[in-house]
């Protein structure tokens, strides 16, 4: 029996009063995110319509292929936005606590939190639109920073996103000029909810604090 398709519900985030990122920007950004949720649900529903007969015939394959490729863009856009909003909060701070799980991971991977941040910020300044994502390799317990373009391009298989920063221009254009992306990045850092970042790290590798990178 074919099960009913999944339905994603937009998550709610309280992101008023961030430093350097206006409420107007966040309201616009959250509306954009809701569009990704809607598009994801619609694509899943269309794909399930193809599968209801238990097969995809030759004539239906081109449409099925395009829907599947499009789902990668929309679904990753939905999830990346949830991770981005989820690691922000009013009253956040620009660096993790000295003894936090993330600080330990950054030191083990880069030698210092400052060097990790330098690398992450430079990734965020790459030309083009996309995402800067700090991911964990669960096999080695090391962090690395990556450029994700078009939502679905650039993810490393098996790596787990720990900190996500949106650097598409819609994330900051109401507050900064395109040439001021670096100022936006510093604003992003001043609002990070490091407890969420630590929780992601601990979920990815339980008891990280007691582990030793290989």
Q: 149 - beta bridge partners?
A: 153
Q: Please provide the distance, in angstroms rounded to a whole number, between the alpha carbons at the two ends of the chain.
A: 46
Cβ-proximal residues to 32 (8 Å cutoff; 6+ apart), any chain:
81, 170
Please say whether the beta carbons of 77 and 35 come within 8 A.
no
d(CA 162, CA 159): 9
**104 vs 122: CA distance, rounded Å:** 21
- Distance between CA 167 and CA 41 in Å, rounded? 25
- How high is the pLDDT of residue 208? 60
Which pLDDT belongs to residue 86?
98
Q: Residue 22: is it exposed, middle or buried by C-beta count within 10 angstroms (0-12/13-18/19+)? A: middle
User: Could you state, in chain order, the average pLDDT of each consecutive group of 10 residues for the chain (214 residues)?
Assistant: 79 96 98 98 92 76 92 97 98 92 96 98 97 96 96 95 97 97 98 97 76 49
Q: Which pLDDT score is estimated for 209?
A: 54
Q: Looking at residue 212, what is its pLDDT?
A: 47
């Amino acid at each position: 029996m074919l099960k009913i398709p999944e339905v994603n519900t937009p998550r709610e985030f309280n992101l008023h009063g961030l430093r350097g990122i206006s409420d107007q920007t966040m309201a616009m950004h959250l509306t954009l995110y809701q569009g990704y949720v809607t598009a994801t649900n619609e694509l899943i529903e269309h794909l399930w319509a193809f599968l209801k007969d238990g097969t995809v015939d030759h004539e239906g394959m081109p449409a099925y292929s395009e829907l599947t490729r499009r789902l990668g863009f929309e679904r990753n856009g939905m999830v990346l936005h949830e991770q981005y909003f989820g690691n922000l909060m009013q009253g956040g701070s620009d660096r993790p606590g000295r003894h936090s799980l993330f600080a330990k991971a950054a030191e083990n991977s880069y030698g210092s939190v400052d060097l990790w941040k330098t690398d992450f910020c430079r990734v965020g300044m790459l030309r083009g639109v996309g995402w800067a994502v700090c991911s964990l390799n669960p096999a080695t317990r090391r962090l690395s920073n990556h450029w994700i373009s078009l939502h679905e391009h650039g993810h490393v298989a098996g790596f787990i996103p720990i900190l996500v920063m949106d650097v598409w221009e819609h994330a900051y254009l109401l507050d900064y000029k395109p040439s001021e992306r670096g100022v936006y990045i510093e604003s992003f850092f001043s609002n990070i909810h490091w407890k969420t970042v630590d929780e992601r790290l601990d979920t990815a590798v339980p008891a990280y604090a007691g582990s030793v990178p290989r």
